[in-house]
Amino acid sequence: MSQLADAVNRRRTFAIISHPDAGKTTLTEKLLLFGGAIQMAGAVKARGEQRRARSDWMKVERERGISVASSVMTFEYAGCTFNLLDTPGHGDFSEDTYRTLTAVDSAIMVIDAAKGIEEQTRKLFEVCRLRDVPIITFVNKMDREARDPFEILDEIEQDLALDVTPASWPIGMGRDFRGAYDLLNDRLALMERVDREHLPEEGDACQGLDDPHLDAMLPGHAAETLREQAAMARSLCPAFDREAFREGHMTPVYFGSAINTFGVRELLNGLVREAPPPRPQPTTTRDVHPTEEAVSGFVFKIQANMDPRHRDRIAYVRLASGHFRRGMKLKHVRTGKTVNLHNPHLFLARDRELAEEAVAGDIIGVPNHGNLRIGDALTAGESLRFTGIPSFAPEMLQAVRPEDPMKAKHLGRALVQIAEEGAAQVFRPRQGAEWIVGVVGALQFDVLADRIRTEYDIPVRFEPAGLYTAVWVGSDDDRRFKAFQEANRTAIADDHDDVPVFLARNAWHLNRAQEDWPEIRFARTREQA
């Protein structure tokens, strides 16, 4: 095996998806604790608090107790390099989450043991299904009152149409939660409630569920119940099938308590053994394989002003192939220009360090001043266009105005930067001077107002625009397309890439336009160019 192939095979690039409050941040923290990336639990939140103190925008995260931006964390464990992409848990930021999921090879789905599958979990799962992303399930908070494990397995199977197989089986729940039995490796792990900062020892090896060691370690009734339930689970659920898992048809289910650092080791070991290394990435012309020598990658996220002291913009690039080295010159396919990557970064949340080298599967941050956009390809020379990184028609539209009319031009520049970052859609109507901002959820307007005020020093007002939706329009018939735009002058706008958009006042307005102009394409999604 070549050095490149060996390095790629040791990469695990994954996201954590969940409904808000299922314990995603705590699990992220404990994974980093195992990987040695942080020394104490609470450091992810503590680090964030220190940073947020300098930024009113981040105050929105703190006040509402939610994540509104994706972040990347790289750490080592058991001979593997993990790239963990944390995603916004709140549904109003699902578009950022969707694009993040285009950059991963697997995902951990965190479920609250008392609540089961919740709405946002279901939405995010559907996004994973579109890309056949393999999913490992972690049923969290078993140390609290929880639903019956069989009920949870059944719900995952029925609601998500996914084969389930228990990777571990819980011993009790709530106050009586003692630990779990690792069904895939025949190990008994008991939960220690003493020190949450302490990494628990690996469980004891057992000779199957009949091992007398179980009786010595557990009260009689607990050992008996474990044997009965685990035997029933094994008979009711299919055995773990790595191929079915990697194709996105089966999920192994781990039970644990992230707050008590329990079940996290087994979960990480499962990622090491079963999660796929970097997968081929689709383009319009061919699939790009990770072990190809030529370096290539795509931008899936832009984050502006990560450091408020330096008005920087970081493009998050998922490397699709090759062995990248700092100082490389790559082709920016959209513009045809050469980009000199002399200052790329690796991440630990909002901290960064210089990336001397990286391989396919890794995420690097490229500082730039607005040249790179979501969906852009960087290659060693080949004109590739990576697919599957869309923008969505917004569900809410409002007009935005600066409180100081003299700052209208500055507001326009700020809005275009925010749109290039993927934080919102912005549209400039062909008639009228105001800008229209489109988002997925109402909370985004609050965040945008805070950001525009703190990052660009422009206080703004958002006001109802009386619009139903904005859809991208196009046609193969130039003459008819010009006629359509002329006939609908008051409803035509341009997005930040100058692509024409139809602003519909209501559903009837949209349907009527589609009926009257059959030659025109009305698209609710647009692939990033």
Tell me the two tokens of residue 524: 């609710």
What pLDDT is stored for residue 51 in this prediction? 37
What pLDDT is stored for residue 55 in this prediction? 32
Confidence label for 89 from pLDDT (cuts 50, 70 and 90): low
Q: What is the pLDDT of residues 105-154, one digit of tens each?
A: 999 999 999 999 988 788 788 878 878 899 999 999 999 999 999 999 99
What pLDDT is stored for residue 242 in this prediction? 97
Contact predicate 17/107, CB 8 Å: yes
Of the options 3.40.50.300, 3.40.50.450, 3.30.70.3280, 3.90.230.10, the CATH number for the domain spanning 390-527: 3.30.70.3280
Which pairing describes strands 500-504 and 469-474: parallel, antiparallel, or unpaired? antiparallel
CATH topology of domain 17-66+108-274: Rossmann fold (3.40.50)
Of the options 3.40.50.11540, 3.20.20.210, 1.10.730.10, 3.40.50.300, the CATH number for the domain spanning 281-379: 3.40.50.300
**Rounded mean pLDDT of the chain?**
87
Domains 17-66+108-274 and 281-379 share a fold: yes
Residue 36 is given by DSSP the state T
User: How is 471-501 classified by DSSP, letter by letter?
Assistant: EEEE-S-HHHHHHHHHHTGGGEEEETT--EE
Confidence label for 198 from pLDDT (cuts 50, 70 and 90): low
**Global confidence as pTM:** 0.81
What pLDDT is stored for residue 320 in this prediction? 98
User: How is 236-298 classified by DSSP, letter by letter?
Assistant: HSPPP-HHHHHTTSEEEEEE-BGGGTBSHHHHHHHHHHHS--PPPEEBSS-EEPTT-SS-EEE
Top mean-pLDDT range of 82-96, 318-332, 356-370: 318-332
Which among 23, 78, 44, 41 is positioned nearest to 198, based on CA atoms? 41
* CA–CA gap between residue 22 and residue 8 (Å, rounded): 31
Domain coordinates in residue numbering, the chain: 17-66+108-274, 281-379, 390-527
Q: What is the pLDDT of residues 44-55, one digit of tens each?
A: 544 444 333 333
Q: Across residues 427-435, what is the average pLDDT?
A: 92
pLDDT above 80 (res 42)? no
Which among 200, 254, 209 is positioned nearest to 231, based on CA atoms? 209
pLDDT above 80 (res 1)? no
Max Cα–Cα distance, the chain, nearest Å = 83
pLDDT above 70 (res 37)? no
Confidence label for 197 from pLDDT (cuts 50, 70 and 90): low
What pLDDT is stored for residue 526 in this prediction? 80
* CA–CA gap between residue 226 and residue 234 (Å, rounded): 12
Q: How far is residue 24 CA from its own chain's centroid?
A: 12
Confidence label for 61 from pLDDT (cuts 50, 70 and 90): very low
Q: 52 in helix, strand or coil?
A: helix
Which among 375, 428, 374, 370 is positioned nearest to 399, based on CA atoms? 428
* CA–CA gap between residue 128 and residue 228 (Å, rounded): 34
Percent of the chain whose predicted confidence (pLDDT) is above 90: 66
| 377 Cβ neighbours under 8 A, 6+ residues apart | 283, 296, 297, 298, 299, 332, 333, 334, 384, 385, 386
Q: 171 in helix, strand or coil?
A: strand
* CA–CA gap between residue 240 and residue 449 (Å, rounded): 48
Q: Across residues 426-455, what is the average pLDDT?
A: 90
